[in-house]
Amino acid sequence: MELVHGHTEGKDYTEDNFGWTELTPSYRVDLRHPSNEDIDQFINANVVADWSLLSWDKIGKPFEVKTVAKSKRDWEAENGEMSVKTSWEYFNRSFHDWFVKDMPAALSESKKNLRKHLSQFHVNEVKCALGETARLSLWNYAHRIEDGVWDPRGKRALFKGLEVDKPRILFLGAAEGYEAMQLQAMYPGGEVVLVDYDEFCKTDRFGLFPESYPFLGINTATNQPKVWYKDQMNIHYVVDDIRNLSFGKEFDIVLSVGLLEHFPDEYKHEVMDWHRKFLKPGGYVIMTTPRKQMKSKMFYTIMADVMNHTYRELMDIRQMGLYVYEGGFDILRHGYIKVHNGIVARPR
């Protein structure tokens, strides 16, 4: 069942909507495959048989994205090198702006502008309007239609089958916290701690994350699938540098999404240590990074002004896995979903 532009208002998705998907002006609602029974088709899982046989000589290093957002280039021309934290602050404001766009309205406005400038032979304006129309079309396809960024079915396929009860979940570099909310819907009754050193992530990216977005999870009382909403979850947001956290080994799951690839190789061990440091014995580390594929290279080229404020690599699942394996973890589950690689691991 697929309805386009027929947005259901408010938090009124229930079990009656199982099997349903629809497009709101900014994102896809997806209640297909509620029971997770046939969810494995959304992950290309376990492509590496033995991590100890891989070496960097054999698989090569990740691809580094070198294009830089105009806002950062302009800032640096005036002020010198931008710090990593300021770069994230620019990124988060820019990225958030795209998540909340009314895509049909923005696309129609952009095309109208393009037609106007074309009819008046304004060459520079035509170039700008073409660029904006290309970015909007790509975002509309990649995020809203394909649901590649949130990819709930791929994420549920990666997250399923964990042996946890009311887990405490720590999300490092949480931004809007999407994946921790998906995890809490699947494994309810515990607590989520989101950590990001950019205050804007707490106030806006998470704070304004739609309360009507339905996460498919479980009702533990009946063991039946259930729709969960953000405001039904137990979530705490900590605005701090991950390096300052004083937690002990107290989390059942430590999660990061799009963090490892922002650190050059000399820091990758430190990032892996962050994941180990707060984990209970027997707990799970879950990590994802964007895939190295032609589509992603094109995405980060066309969306450079929106996305490219920080150091960024694109890697394949073997490269990501080798960082995790060399960081001292056993890999329990790995694979790729729509646009990310995903790994579930445990300290060795």
Binding site for ligand SAM (CB under 6 A): 88, 92, 95, 173, 175, 195-198, 201, 241-243, 257-259
Q: How far is the CB of 150 from ligand SAM (least distance, A)?
A: 9
How far apart CA 64 and CA 49 sit, in angstroms, is 27
Residue 101 or 111 having the CB closest to ligand SAM? 101
Backbone angles phi and psi of 207, in degrees to 5: -55, -40
The Cα-based distances of 175 to 171, 209, 258, 289 in angstroms read 9, 10, 10, 14
Q: How far is the CB of 132 from ligand SAM (least distance, A)?
A: 21
Token pair 């509620």 in the structure block, residue: 34
Q: What's the distance, Cα to Cα, between the start and end of the chain in Å?
A: 45
Extended strands (E) in the chain = 2-4, 21-23, 28-30, 44-45, 63-64, 168-172, 191-195, 215-219, 224-228, 235-238, 251-257, 279-290, 313-314, 329-336, 340-347
Residue 34 or 171 having the CB closest to ligand SAM? 171
Q: How far is the CB of 246 from ligand SAM (least distance, A)?
A: 14
Residue nearest to ligand SAM (CB): 173
Residue 19 or 207 having the CB closest to ligand SAM? 207
Residue 129 or 305 having the CB closest to ligand SAM? 305
Q: Choose among 40, 20, 42: nearest CA to 31.
A: 20
Q: How far is the CB of 299 from ligand SAM (least distance, A)?
A: 13
Q: How far is the CB of 307 from ligand SAM (least distance, A)?
A: 9
Residue 201 or 317 having the CB closest to ligand SAM? 201
Residue 39 or 260 having the CB closest to ligand SAM? 260
Extended strands (E) in 187-278 = 191-195, 215-219, 224-228, 235-238, 251-257
Q: How far is the CB of 242 from ligand SAM (least distance, A)?
A: 4
